[in-house]
Structure 1
Amino acid sequence: MSLCSRTSGVRDVTHRAAIVSALVVLALLVGGRWALGREPVETILVETGPGMPATPSTSAPPDKPRTPSPSASARTTPPPKAPKPPKGGPIVTRELTGSRKVALTFDDGPHPTWTPKVLDLLRSKGVKATFCLVGTEVHQYPALVARIVREGHTLCNHTWHHELDLGTKPEAEIRANLEATNREIRRAVPGAKIKFFRHPGGMWTAAAIKVSRELGMTPLGWDVDPLDWKKPSPEAIRTRVINQARPGSIVLLHDGGGDRAATLSACPAIVGELKRKYGIVLLR
């Protein structure tokens, strides 16, 4: 074989080897991008913020979406739970009269506008009721307390200033509040008998029960609540009372704490129907 032939053969081999190498490199590049299934990773400039370094970061989509953990501010705050009654005894209140007859109670007075009108109505119907008195109102209108007693109604302590959370306080604070209210009532009517205590909102605790009993007052609940403090129509108040009432019910109404025109308007029908169906008795 001539020298030229051998040289030509070597060139052909080298040329084929170069082609093969190029194909291998191309296959690796194409295969690599196919395997990754995405464009090459880019470098992205990120705006710095609190706690973040001022350096670029690389971004690549995660294998699967993740749900971010909510921040403390984004969490939904659960509604507050009612306070657990402190130790001191069972929560037992009087909610029935003990007979077939029903009883009427009026809360949050005395009020200079509504209490006299309620008293006028009860007197015209020959009916007695229990008035749950707020100490600060007694202080302002002692003559109304004297009239309540003079006309034969029963008195009930309803805290000094309608404190809804009183029962969650230490026993000494509960006692001081109830004693102050009783003193104010007896300042208006010396020697007045205060047989009952009603916690505002019915938010009873064992401590409130215990202290009121120690002061000689029966914890007074109710069986019928028309929610007249929300100021529904007179007809709604009447319907709720009549529909909820049963033999022995204690009915909760209001003569103070706001505009009680609707309650006053509903009372003649309420008194008439309850008196006819069950009879009305004074709590003792």
Structure 2
Amino acid sequence: MNFALILFLLLVATGVLWLADKFYARKRRAPDAGEPWWVEYGASFFPVILAVFFLRSFLVEPFKIPSGSMIPTLLVGDFILVNKYTYGIRLPVINKKIVDMNTPERGDVMVFRYPEDPSLDYIKRVVGLPGDTIEYFDKRLSINGKPVDVTSAGEYVHRDRLYASAKYSENLGSVEHAFLNDGDKPAYVPQVKQFPQRENCTYTNNGVRCTVPPGHYFVMGDNRDDSSDSRVWGFVPEENIVGKAFLIWFNFNEPSRIGFFH
């Protein structure tokens, strides 16, 4: 469901009714006459829809985390806010950038339109920038030939399953974050798809090496062995970017999770 398109159509419909009432119908109503139904249930909603549309399109947009691919950073059921202007201002619905600002950096948690189905929003961590060579062999990440610094951080016990994953701390750019690895999962990438510019990637039994093409990004989930990401379906085009996630604003099961994250 394209909620932005639905909201835009509601904005147009209520806006037309509001204009019709303000500049035509209101002047022809008797002073003591009540508002007709189409004003009460249509035009009166226009200011509210306009405010929601502006906030959601240009400032912040709420999302709910549907899967465990970003554990331990984000959990299923987290409600997050996404900054819509960090990476530039885009026209709503068509997602075309009109004001250029910052670009994604390594370590950012980014929301984007899934390349295979742009009607779906995905959230992953930015690992590779345009021109980077990303290697993920034997479950060890390297960027441009340099292994990323990793330290052990104990174990993470999954709440919906009866097992624990090894937890590590990793530095990507200026961001230090946690990620998970399961020792019993294979190093190779399963079920690789035929994505655009797949020739930029080389797959082996030990993992994958990719060179990120211009205007694209390589993303991975923090739950490394339980994430379908750029290793599987390829690169994220710049035009698919929605914004930068920065805040957990609610979680029904764990209110203590409210706050900023890395």
TM-score, with normalisation over the residues of structure 1? 0.21
Greater strand percent: which structure? 2
TM-score, with normalisation over the residues of structure 2? 0.22
Larger radius of gyration between Structure 1 and Structure 2: 1
